Structure 1
C-alpha cells in the first residue's frame, strides 16, 4: 500500500508495500491529487540507482532504519537481549491500517518474534505531522532498549541547519551551520529540556529566513532528556531524527511490558520560518488553547523576593489593582521556614509566623480588589534543610550524596509515598484556598543516572490528576525560567515562563525565537524594574512596555516604588493590552525576513486580515544613518490599510532633526502589498528602543 496524506500545502507519501519497514517517499510541498497509479509510479521513480561498492539493491531509508536494512548511519532503534547478547533487529512490516484520511498506523515485528512495534502517523488539517512508536515485548527474558526514534528524510536542497542553545536567563540562542556529512546531534541530559534545549531543529534551503526559503523542522514533545539530530550520509540521504534520550539500563522491558515514545512533531514550510509558525500555532490552539482572555498578572518575586511582610504585600495588592492587574501571584517565601532559597522546600504548609491566619487575609484583599490569586510552588524539589528531607531521606532522588543545585535536591516522584505526599499537599492547598493559578517551578537539573524517564512520567501523571480534580485552576510551567518549554508540558499547562530575565533587550531575542513554536498567549512576559535585576542594564519604560506587550503580559516590579507618572503609564499600558489581546492572542505572528541583530520588525495580524499590530525594535546602533524601510509582512496585499503610531508610556528616544513625513502627519494609508514589499521610512531610534504601530483596514 502506498499512502498519501495531504493537508494545508503539505504532502506525506509513505511506501508501505512491505515486507520491509515502510519508507517515506516524500515529505514536503503539496503534490496535488495523485491516483493510485501516480503513487506507484512516484514510488518506483524515487528508487535510487545502485552505486558501486554498495548494497546490491536500491537503498531504502525506512522510518526505523537499522544496520540490517543496509543503513550504516545512526539507527532508528537500538537495544539488545542480555540473555544471548543479540541486538534488536530484523524488523518486518506486518500490517497497515488507515485511521481516517490523515492518519495511518503501521504494525511491525522483529523476525525472531520477540518485539512488536506500532507506529502512529498523523497529519493535521494545519499541515503538522506527528509520529510516535509503541513497542511491546512479546518474547522471553529482558530487553534493554537504548533508542527508539522517529526518523524522517529531508531532500538535498535543505543544506543548512538551525537549532538553539542558551543558558539561564539567555535562552533560545539560534545557531546555524552548513549541513555536512556526518551526524549533528543535540542531546540534553538535564532531566528537563534545559536552557540549552535544541528546541526546534530546522533544515532549510541555504539562507532561509523568517519569510523565505523551504524549511523542514522537528521537535520532541517531551519534558525529559532528549535528542534531536540531523544526519547526511555519503550514501546520499539526509534525515532528521528525534527521540527520548535513554541512559544505559534506564528502560528494561520484561515480557508483556510496553513503551510508548514521545510524539515527534514535524513541520514543512515553503515560506520560511514564519511558515512553520503558521502551521504550529493554529494546530496548538485547536488542540488545547488556554482560556481567553489571558489576565494581566502581577508576580511578587522581583517586587519583594522573600520579604512577605503583610503590610508590604497589602500595599502591593492595592497598587496592582489600581493599575488594572487581574491576577496577583504570591511567589516563593510563603511556606514554613522559607526565608531564603537554602531551606524548607518540601514543607508545603503556610508559614504561621508571616501568615498567622493563613493566606486567607491576603487572598480576601486580592479578591476584594477584583483580582484572582495565584501561588508559587516547586513540588518536584526538596531542600536538605527541611522537615521533609530529615523525615524521609529515602524520598530524595539519589539520596544525600551528590551535589546540590540552588541548595536543593530532587524529590523522587517515582517513589509512591513521595508522590502521594506531594499530590496530597497540593490538593489540600487547592481545597483550602481559592487559588486560581499555580506557578509551578523546577529550579535544577536532575543529575541522576537513569531516573529521567520515570520522573517525567510521574510529573505528567501528577499534572493530569490535578487538572482533572481542579479544572478551573491554571498552571504555569517555569523551570528557572525557560528550561522546560516543549509541546509535552504544553498539553498540561496554560502558560510558560519564557525566561527568568525581565531585561527587555534579552527578552526581545528570547521571545522572538521561543514564539516560532509556541503561540504568544502562552508566553509569559513581565514588565520589570528600570534596572533589570539579572543583567543590571537600565532600560527606558517605553522599551519595557513594548516588549512585555506581545505575549501573556504581566508585571514583576514593585509598583509602590514607581513615580505617579510611571504608575499612570503602566495603567494606560494595561488598558491597551486588554484592548489588543483579542488580536495578540488569536492572530498570525509575523517577523521581518532576516535575523538582523540591529533592527527588526515583528507583529501579529488578525485572522480576518483587517487589523494588525507591529513593533519596530532597535537592539543596537544602526549600520547606516538611514536604516532600511520598515516592511510590514502578512497583510492582505489587496486591502488598503492605515498605519498609526501607538504611544505606550513615554515616547521612544530618537536622534533626528525631523521625523519621517508620514509620522509627522500622524498616519499613512497604503495597500498591503506596498506596506509589505516597499515599507515605510523609520524613525531614527536609538539603541534599545522600540516603536509600536497599529494597522487598520480602510
Structure 2
C-alpha cells in the first residue's frame, strides 16, 4: 500500500510517501506543484533504476534512515539498551494526523518497543518548513544520535555553504564541493558556538544572492549540534541535523530533537534569507512590547571596562543621551569585588565600594535623561575566587583539573538548586530596580557537552521572563557564540560579535543576514581605535555600519571630536527617522561586481522604499566603481534615488556623476539590470543610497 502526504505554501511543496508501511521518505521538495498533482504517480516517478553491483531495490532515503533497511549511508537514529547492546529498530507505519499546514507521522517498532514521531509544519507567510522528531521507549535506553526529520539535498548543486568562525570573526562562510561521502560538522562546545553556526545553504548551479534556486537549513538549538550532508553512491543526497552526538547522557524513555527550520526559494540565496529573517522576527522572537521602536543602545563596556565610577558614568550617560542614545547598559564590573575577570562571578550583589548608595543614583540619573536602563549578567558562570564557589564548590560543572576560560568555570545548570539561587539573585536585582534590559553573557565553552546544561539555562530564562515580562534580554556569548532560534525564542537581541571593527563587521553582518533580521542584530559604533583589531577607522564608516542593524554606541563618548560628535548625531538621527520601516525590512545581499565592495539593500515590506549600504573594504582592482545592481524592485516603476552622504565625497572624486549632484529618477528595470553608478571613494568608506518608488 502506498500512502502519500503533502504540505504547501505559495512558494514550495513537500511531498512524503510510504510504501509497505515503511518509514516515510521525501518524494519531492521544491517549487510549488499543482494542486491536481497525482501523488501516487509521483511516488512511482520518484523510484530509481537498478543496475549491476547494486541491491535489487534502492533502500529508501527516509526521514529517519534505518540501518536495518540496508541503507548505505548515515542512519538517522543510533541507540542502545541499558546493557549496552546496540538496538536496530525496524519501524512500521502507525498513524498520521493532518491539519492545515501540519502533518504528524508515527511509526512503531514492536520488537524494540519504540515509537518514532515526525512533525512537519509549513508557514504560509514566512515560507519556513519546521520539522521535529521524537522517540519514545517503553523502558529507558541510551541515545547516541537522533536526527531531526531528514531532508534530501538537490543533485543539481555543485557546492554547499556552511559557517565557521572564531571570537571576533563569526559567520565565516565555508564553500565545500559536493562529492561522494559526507561533509560532517559537529559542535561539542556545549553552546551554539562561534565555530559552527548551525546553518547550511545549498544553492543550485548558477545561483547567486539575487537569482536562482536555493535550499537552506537552520537547527534551532543552543547546546551544540551535528550536521551531516552526505552523497550516497547512487547519487542521492541527504541532510541531517540534530543535537551533538552523545550529549543526552542519562538513559531515558523520551527524546526529542530541536526544530529544524528549512526553506526553498526561487529568488537566490536572498529568498532563503528573507524567509529566515521574517520567521525569526515575526514567529520566533516574542517582544515585551512589539509596538515600541527599537531604542538606540549605549553600552559602557569599552568606555570604562571594570573601572566603575559614578560621576564618570553619569557624565558618559549625559554625552550618550546628547548623541541620541535611548538606552544605557551597565556592563561587567558592578557586583561583588569584580575588578577584573578573575573573580566574583556568581556573587550577584552590588559592589558597595563602587556603589555605596546602590545602583539607584545611576539608574535615576539615566532615567532623568529619558533613557531606559539595562544591566549585565553572566548567570551560567562562576569564578573559583567567589563567595558562592567557596560555599558550593559542587555547583561547578566538570572536574577540578579542567582548563579555565577567563579564570571561570560553568555552573551546573541541570541542578535545580543552582537555578533557584540564580533566579533569586537576579530577581532581587531586577525586582528592586527599574531595569528593563539584561545583557546575558556566556564567556566560555563547557568542559564537556551536555544537553541538560542547555535545558537548565532555557528553564532559568523562561522563569525570569515569566516573572519579568517587560524585561528584554540580549544573548551574548563572547559576542556571537550563542545565536540560534532556540535562544531567540527566549531573547530579543543578539550581540553579533565582540568586534566593533567596522570593516570586520561588514563581512560578519553580511553573512549573518542569511539568517538574522536587523531588528534583533545589535551593531555598535566602537571607539576610534578598535581594541580587538588595532585598526583606526573614520567615524563615518563606523556610524553607517552600525546603522545597518539595531544601532548602538560602545565607546567612550569623551573621546569624540566636535566633527565626530556631529557625524554620529546626524547618522543616529537618520536611523531614528527610518527605524520603523527598516527594522521590519528585508535585508537583501547584493551581487557586487567589485570584489572590494560588500553591499546590501534593505527593502521595505511593501516595496515602496529601500536603502542600499555600499561598503568598500579595500582598493578596487579597476579605477572607477563598477555599477551596482539592485534587487527585487518593480521593473516598471520609477524610483527617486538619492546619495544621502554625498557630502562625504573626497576631493579626489573629481567628476560629476549624477548621484553626486542630487536625486535622480530611474526605472526599477535599469537599477536591477545596469545598476547604480556611484562616485569614486577610498577604501574603508561607505556610500548610502535611499530610494523611493514614485
TM-score (norm 1): 0.96
Q: Quote the offset at 1:418 in angstroms.
A: 1.2
Report the CA distance shift for 1:540/1:654 in structure 2 as closer, same or farther (over 3 A). farther
2:66 corresponds to: 66
Query: Are the equivalent residues in 2 in contact too, given 1:5–1:103 (CA < 8 A)?
Result: yes
1:658 corresponds to: 655
2:492 corresponds to: 494
1:541 corresponds to: 539
2:274 corresponds to: 278
CA distance in 1, matches of 2:380, 2:541: 36
1:636 corresponds to: 634
Aligned length: 687
Unaligned runs of 5+ residues in structure 2 are: none
Q: Quote the offset at 1:162 in angstroms.
A: 0.7
1:619 corresponds to: 617
Q: Per-residue displacement from partner, 1:451-479 (whole Å, max 9, x unpaired)? A: 52000001111111111111100000000
Q: Per-residue displacement from partner, 1:77-99 (whole Å, max 9, x unpaired)? A: 1111143714232111211110x
Report the CA distance shift for 1:249/1:193 in structure 2 as closer, same or farther (over 3 A). closer
CA distance in 2, matches of 1:618, 1:342: 40
Say yes or no: does 1:51 pair with 2:60: no
Question: In angstroms, what is the RMSD of aligned CA positions?
Answer: 1.7
Aligned to 2:485, the other structure's residue is in SS state coil
Unaligned runs of 5+ residues in structure 1 are: none
Q: Quote the offset at 1:289 in angstroms.
A: 5.2
Query: Are the equivalent residues in 2 in contact too, given 1:211–1:593 (CA < 8 A)?
Result: yes
CA distance in 2, matches of 1:445, 1:113: 37
1:387 corresponds to: 387
CA distance in 1, matches of 2:335, 2:277: 38
631-640 or 438-447, larger mean C-alpha shift: 631-640
Aligned to 2:648, the other structure's residue is in SS state coil
Q: Quote the offset at 1:665 in angstroms.
A: 2.3
User: Superposition pairs for residues 590-605 of structure 1, below 5 Å?
Assistant: 590-593=588-591, 597-605=595-603
Query: Are the equivalent residues in 2 in contact too, given 1:102–1:122 (CA < 8 A)?
Result: yes
1:414 corresponds to: 414
Aligned structure 1 segments of 4 or more residues deviating by more than 6 angstroms: none
Query: Are the equivalent residues in 2 in contact too, given 1:325–1:371 (CA < 8 A)?
Result: yes
Query: Are the equivalent residues in 1 in contact too, given 2:159–2:176 (CA < 8 A)?
Result: yes
Q: Quote the offset at 1:568 in angstroms.
A: 2.3
2:25 corresponds to: 23
CA distance in 2, matches of 1:654, 1:134: 64
1:119 corresponds to: 118
Query: Are the equivalent residues in 1 in contact too, given 2:367–2:373 (CA < 8 A)?
Result: yes
Query: Are the equivalent residues in 2 in contact too, given 1:336–1:350 (CA < 8 A)?
Result: yes
Say yes or no: does 1:263 pair with 2:226: no
Aligned to 1:298, the other structure's residue is in SS state strand
CA distance in 2, matches of 1:519, 1:385: 39
2:528 corresponds to: 530
CA distance in 2, matches of 1:180, 1:2: 31
Report the CA distance shift for 1:13/1:521 in structure 2 as closer, same or farther (over 3 A). same
2:664 corresponds to: 668
Query: Are the equivalent residues in 2 in contact too, given 1:298–1:556 (CA < 8 A)?
Result: yes
Query: Are the equivalent residues in 2 in contact too, given 1:27–1:154 (CA < 8 A)?
Result: no
CA distance in 1, matches of 2:588, 2:296: 23
Query: Are the equivalent residues in 2 in contact too, given 1:66–1:72 (CA < 8 A)?
Result: no
CA distance in 1, matches of 2:278, 2:148: 26
User: Superposition pairs for residues 223-622 of structure 1, below 5 Å?
Assistant: 223-247=222-246, 250-253=249-252, 257-287=253-283, 288=285, 290=287, 291=290, 292-448=292-448, 451-593=449-591, 597-622=595-620
CA distance in 2, matches of 1:122, 1:85: 35
1:220 corresponds to: 219
566-575 or 364-373, larger mean C-alpha shift: 566-575
Aligned to 1:430, the other structure's residue is in SS state helix
Query: Are the equivalent residues in 2 in contact too, given 1:612–1:696 (CA < 8 A)?
Result: yes
CA distance in 2, matches of 1:426, 1:432: 10
Counterpart pick for 2:673 among 672, 677, 690: 677
1:180 corresponds to: 179
Q: Quote the offset at 1:315 in angstroms.
A: 0.3
Report the CA distance shift for 1:303/1:141 in structure 2 as closer, same or farther (over 3 A). closer
Query: Are the equivalent residues in 2 in contact too, given 1:502–1:527 (CA < 8 A)?
Result: yes
363-372 or 243-252, larger mean C-alpha shift: 243-252
CA distance in 2, matches of 1:240, 1:626: 43
CA distance in 2, matches of 1:220, 1:380: 22
Query: Are the equivalent residues in 2 in contact too, given 1:382–1:408 (CA < 8 A)?
Result: yes
Q: Per-residue displacement from partner, 1:650-682 (whole Å, max 9, x unpaired)? A: 71547432142x123212101111111111212
2:106 corresponds to: 107
81-90 or 312-321, larger mean C-alpha shift: 81-90
Query: Are the equivalent residues in 1 in contact too, given 2:81–2:141 (CA < 8 A)?
Result: yes
Report the CA distance shift for 1:456/1:157 in structure 2 as closer, same or farther (over 3 A). same
CA distance in 2, matches of 1:547, 1:654: 23
User: Superposition pairs for residues 684-695 of structure 1, below 5 Å?
Assistant: 684-695=680-691
234-243 or 16-25, larger mean C-alpha shift: 16-25
Q: Quote the offset at 1:141 in angstroms.
A: 5.4
Q: Per-residue displacement from partner, 1:218-264 (whole Å, max 9, x unpaired)? A: 111000110122100112211111000132771422xxx31111011
Q: Quote the offset at 1:595 in angstroms.
A: 8.6
CA distance in 2, matches of 1:676, 1:235: 40
Q: Quote the offset at 1:284 in angstroms.
A: 2.3
